[in-house]
Chain A
Amino acid sequence: MSLLDRVLRPSLTASAHCDGPCGVYDPASARIAAEAVLSMAKKLVDLPESHDIATENTRGRFIAIKEEQAQLAKEELLILWTDYFKPPHLEANPGLHDTFWNAAKLCSQNKVEVNVEAAQALVDTIGEIHNIFWASKSRDDVPFYTAG
């Protein structure tokens, strides 16, 4: 820290932001978690039927990651839903609440089940939320890409 900065630096830091710097809301964090859920569901389906210890350990790990990431996706979605989106957005997107409710339900379903279809549906629903989100910022140049 320079001398100038040491002299000038205030004693207290206030946040004029929301939950982070302005503009950090981004459905990408939910998308990445949902993609991990999809990836784990696919790996679980492809896992051999054998019940040796190594396979069982792998299965356990895949299940743990799937459930943890499904929970994370739900938390990220709830932050977007309850903190970012405001009444004017609902007027522009009357289906907003249904879309988020479906997405949150899919998170729960993916936690409980090993279901590639449901995991894909979760990624697709987050894609819809991605479109609503960026449209609310008048941006049409943000692609919804997936790693998988």
Chain B
Amino acid sequence: MTPALAPGDYVVVDSRAYVRRLPELGDIALARDPREPSRIIAKRVAALEPGGAVVLLGDNREESTDSRTFGPLPPDALTGRVIWRYWPSSRFGPVR
């Protein structure tokens, strides 16, 4: 997910974001990896399909393993939205 997220970034996640509203294009969402549910992944919402399925894509398109590999996810697979980076302090601010 570089450059939006870098390895080791500490971020604040709104874990109720998708209780309140539907995912929106451009959100960076957390989801359980459907191939390995113990792993939480952070990917960008790239498309919303009719019926509500969410297509997640990594920003680093060449390298990312995302909905192109594991398909769109049901909206309840999304566990939160990444909103703010607090560490490193040099990159403190909203995550877009």
Contacts and interface: CB of A to CB of B under 8 A. Distances in A.
Contacts of A13: 40
Contact of B42 (A14, A23, A82): A14
Interface in B76-96: 82, 86-87
A14 B65 contact: no
Chain A, interface size category, equals 20 to 34
B39 to A, nearest CB: 6
Interface in B5-20: 5, 7, 10-11, 13
B32 to A, nearest CB: 10
Contacts, number: 51
Chain B, interface size category, equals 20 to 34
Nearest to B29: A14
Given A16-B1, A16-B58, A83-B65, A21 B7 contact: yes
B62 A136 contact: yes
3 smallest CB-CB distances across A and B, nearest first, come from A16-B1, A18-B65, A16-B42
